[in-house]
């Protein structure tokens, strides 16, 4: 049996073989497997994104803005990952929602409508939310207003609707193959 040491690195994976056995050549997935895998990603990620959004709204209603920001960040991370995994079977190991957003929007431009970028204030709010993954939990200086969280939550709900639509369209296309 071949003994391999696998070390994940950024941005890829390095494989080191301890024997002369070649690695198996990758094969394309069958249409049935593509559909099954895409559906598994969608069924896992989409409800999780909705759950984080719901919980974020609850914590916001209790005045726990930092916790609400973290949970809202998690909702967006799951939503963008849902699109990437469902449509491409690839999701980068990143918590940067700006990066994930750009990758997801490359897959379907309709997702860009969820978070308008024409107002400086709204871009700043999204950037503040992007920082929430770490700072909302560990920095006593992290702040985000109720107004910002309310707007971000409304836009996240729009995003989740778009994610659901885009992913279901893709699953229907795969079903037809």
Mean pLDDT (the chain, rounded): 91
Structure tokens at 100: 């994930």
Q: What is the b/e burial string over 6-32, where b = at least 16 CB atoms within 10 angstroms of the residue's CB?
A: eeeeeeeeeeeeeeeeeeeeeeeeeee
* pLDDT tens-digit readout, 11-20: 455 555 566 6
- Greater confidence (132 vs 28) lies with 132
The domain 30-175: what is its CATH number?
Answer: 1.20.120.330
pTM: 0.87
Going from N- to C-terminal start, the domains of the chain cover 30-175
Per-residue pLDDT at 22: 72
Q: Quick check: 1 pLDDT over 50? A: no
CA–CA dist 159, 153 (Å, integer)? 10
| 3-state SS class at 88 | helix
Per-residue pLDDT at 26: 78
Distance set, CA 121 to CA 124, 142, 169 (Å): 5, 17, 33
Quick check: 168 and 43 in contact, CB under 8 A? no
The sign of the dihedral angle between the CA atoms of 135, 141, 147, 148 is negative
* pLDDT tens-digit readout, 42-95: 999 999 999 999 999 999 999 999 999 999 999 999 999 999 999 999 999 999
């Amino acid at each position: 049996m071949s003994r391999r040491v696998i070390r994940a690195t950024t941005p890829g994976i390095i494989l080191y073989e301890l024997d002369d056995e070649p690695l198996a050549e990758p094969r394309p997935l069958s249409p049935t497997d593509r559909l099954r895998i895409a559906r598994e990603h969608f069924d896992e990620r989409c409800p999780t994104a909705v759950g984080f959004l719901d919980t974020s709204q609850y914590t916001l209603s209790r005045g726990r803005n930092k916790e609400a920001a973290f949970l809202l960040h998690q909702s967006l991370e799951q939503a963008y990952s849902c699109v990437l995994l469902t449509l491409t079977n690839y999701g980068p190991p990143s918590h940067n929602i700006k990066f994930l957003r750009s990758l997801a929007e490359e897959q379907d431009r309709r997702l860009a409508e969820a978070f308008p970028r024409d107002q400086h204030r709204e871009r700043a709010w999204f950037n503040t939310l992007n920082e929430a993954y770490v700072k909302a939990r560990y920095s006593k200086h992290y702040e985000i207003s109720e107004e910002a969280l309310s707007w971000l939550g409304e836009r996240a709900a729009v995003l989740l609707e778009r994610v659901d639509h885009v992913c279901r369209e893709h699953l229907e296309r795969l079903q037809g193959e």
